[in-house]
Structure 1
Amino acid sequence: MNTISKVFLVLLVTLWSNQILAENLISSACDHTLYKDLCTQTLQSDPESSAATSFEVLAKVALKHATSTATQITELLKGSSGNKGALKDCNENYQNAIEGLTKSARALASKKYNDVNAWVSAAMSAGDSCDDGFKDVGGGKSPVGTRGTTFTGLCSIVLAITNQLK
């Protein structure tokens, strides 16, 4: 076997074994969540997860997706019509959630897992309050729809992974 073939083989085996390790890590992390399918789908679809060597990286990826979902929701709410009071409150709730998730990311980077849990839990509550606000105004349906459920699930995943880090 020539040198190029050997280098290629070593590279291939290294990449393959890293992929298997990342998949096992994702599986292990997601097994402890309430939303296993969402967790697996989210983490496997993110390129950052494929190189993950720790639960911290996976928590960071899940946090990034929760923040992205909350941002999408605030954009959706800006263009919605309907009960302006509920929309305004809902938008504020999700803006607060984004702020909390940003603080969670800093706490995660500092390994302050209790702070991560506090901020993510508060963000989760903000999302729930949004849906409740629409129910309170004549049983109105929230324009957030399934994105709110996804947001709640992603926050729950962050909490589950962070609890494994403690």
Structure 2
Amino acid sequence: MRRFSSFSKIIITFLVLFHSTIMGSNELIQLSCKKASQGDPNLSYKFCVSSLEANAKGHSLDLQELVVISLNLTIANATNINSTISNLLKDKAFDNFAKERLRGCSELYADAIPTLQEALCAFQSKDFAKANIEVSSAMDASSTCEDGFKEKKGEVSPLRKENDVFFQLNAISLAFINTLASI
């Protein structure tokens, strides 16, 4: 029975990889995003599709390449958020409380970048468990950043949109990594 189970996994993996190489990248993205968004109520199907289609460059992909694309998007997004924070810190409209939180967020995102790079290396080495842990760890930057602003009643995070985008990009990577890990 165990031998059949392993053989079945090999056949399923082959079929998924074969099918994904013959279908267009948009179809694979749509199917993958549909499955991912159905498994995570925090992940928007529309966001997933639009993020990946904009970066798939119209060539045939497989799910492994989508993970690499999503991780690279997330790394670039963390870098952009840090740039946004640097600009916000120059704005005199923010009080000391907000600036302290922004500096904290900057540290979180600065730490997330090498963590996501480590996740990418782990994924490329087929260490899906480690990749999952690293992405999950990096994902916490968005909620921890957001929570910092909630410590003061009435304070609104100027990074709400950025935190949400970063969270969703990580959710995409996690969903795709977990799909590959289960095959």
CA RMSD of aligned residues (A): 1.7
Q: Number of matched residues? A: 148
Is the Cα–Cα contact under 8 Å of residues 62 and 157 in structure 1 kept in the other structure?
Answer: yes
Normalised TM-score (structure 1): 0.82
Question: Which structure 2 residues correspond to residues 126-137 of structure 1 after superposition, within 5 A?
Answer: 126-137=141-152
Identity of aligned residues (%): 28
Report the CA distance between 1:72 and its aligned residue: 0.9
Is the Cα–Cα contact under 8 Å of residues 56 and 69 in structure 2 kept in the other structure?
Answer: no
Is the Cα–Cα contact under 8 Å of residues 97 and 127 in structure 1 kept in the other structure?
Answer: no
Q: Residue 30 of structure 2 aligns with which residue?
A: 27
Is the Cα–Cα contact under 8 Å of residues 19 and 51 in structure 1 kept in the other structure?
Answer: no
| Distance in 1 separating the partners of 2:66 and 2:164 | 20
Q: Residue 101 of structure 1 aligns with which residue?
A: 116
Q: Deviations over 1:62-96 (max 9, x none)?
A: 11111111111111111214222211111101111
Report the CA distance between 1:139 and its aligned residue: 3.5
Question: Which structure 2 residues correspond to residues 1-166 of structure 1 after superposition, within 5 A?
Answer: 20-34=23-37, 35-48=44-57, 50-81=58-89, 82=94, 83-166=98-181
Normalised TM-score (structure 2): 0.75
- AA paired with 2:111? N
Larger-Rg structure: 1
For structure 1, the residue ranges without an aligned partner over 5 or more in a row are 1-17
For structure 2, the residue ranges without an aligned partner over 5 or more in a row are 1-20, 38-43
Is the Cα–Cα contact under 8 Å of residues 71 and 116 in structure 2 kept in the other structure?
Answer: yes
